[in-house]
Amino acid sequence: MKVRTNTAGVDTSPIRLVIHGGAGTITPSKLTKELERAYTQVLAQSLTAGHAVLDAGGSSIDAVIAAIVVMEDSPLFNAGKGAVFSNAGRIELDASIMDGSTRMAGSVAAVTTIRNPIRAANAVMTKSAHVMLMGQGADAFAAEMGLEIVDPSYFHTQFRWNQLQKAIAEERLMQDHDVVPDTPQPQMDEKVDEKVDEKRGTVGAVALDRHGNLAAGTSTGGLTNKRFGRVGDSPVIGAGTYADNRSVAVSATGTGEIFIRTVAAFNTAAQVRLQHIPIIEAADNTLAEIAALGGDGGLIVLDAKGNYSMRFNTRGMFRGSIGSDGIVQVGMFADDDRAVFTSNSHGTR
């Protein structure tokens, strides 16, 4: 497991945003330089979008939404535009969000017409008496709330369709970032080649605003070739997403069923709040429990002091962080977290 983490006494930033774009078999041999640059660009755009909210004094909730929307609108990740197909040839999207100051939460599952499911999850949290809505009811609620509704064909991409056909032929599910591509050096097509795209996944963000409030959000298209209305951990509060000002904000990615069974996000937060375990150790404990049950994945964790960790027990995880200094840092492989550029108005590129 690899991490980039700031500790108390090092990071005195009043704001912080951390993101992930899925964990799995992510190694330099799996990505062309062109594709690596494409991932870097979108991760940086996501971080700068969320940072702009925080830097202007906006809420951690709004920062999480801004960051995730960028990734939902990109075909590079299994969320929104880049979502995978179910066995029935449908795109079924899940998302959740949680406010650490109030522990209010909202989520949607198996939606098919909402361009940005993270916005719908926020609408459930703020404009309804519920926590989770699903399927046609969630789609209808989003439309009533004035969110952008699209034809399901908006989400259809040829490389995802080809991925489904391969999964059906091999009679298996395809999980985030875990399938070895057919070739290590594919040519780019629609920004992402179908052969290398099989290892992309769930997106998430955690944020701390100037008011000291935490928030977390997660969005996904689930598993390629999933059946029977399967829903994973991403829209389940406490499994894929959790935020509590008394402890941490967490967003998860990985083997969804096992993240649900271990209540991974809440598990991590409870260790920090009740046992006073450091955030790195808490994340590692959770991932060890997941591994013991046959799963893998990653967690991003952020506390109310701005300390953060990005832990994973896979070969890599798309990830990044930005604080009040505006320095965008991204990583994909093990030990490759790097500064990309300074995004705030006080710095230079």
What amino acid positions are annotated as catalytic residues? Answer: 202
Residue 195: Cβ within 10 Å count: 21
Contact 18, 302 (CB under 8 A): yes
H-helix or E-strand spanning residue 68: helix 60-72
Compute φ and ψ for 122, nearest 5 degrees.
-65, -40
- Looking up tokens 């904000």 gives 249
DSSP per-residue codes, 150-210:
--GGGG--HHHHHHHHHHHHTT--B-TT-SPPS-SSPPPSTTS-TTTGGG---EEEEEE-T
- In whole angstroms, what is the distance from residue 281 CA to residue 99 CA? 24
- In whole angstroms, what is the distance from residue 78 CA to residue 254 CA? 12
- In whole angstroms, what is the distance from residue 122 CA to residue 151 CA? 21
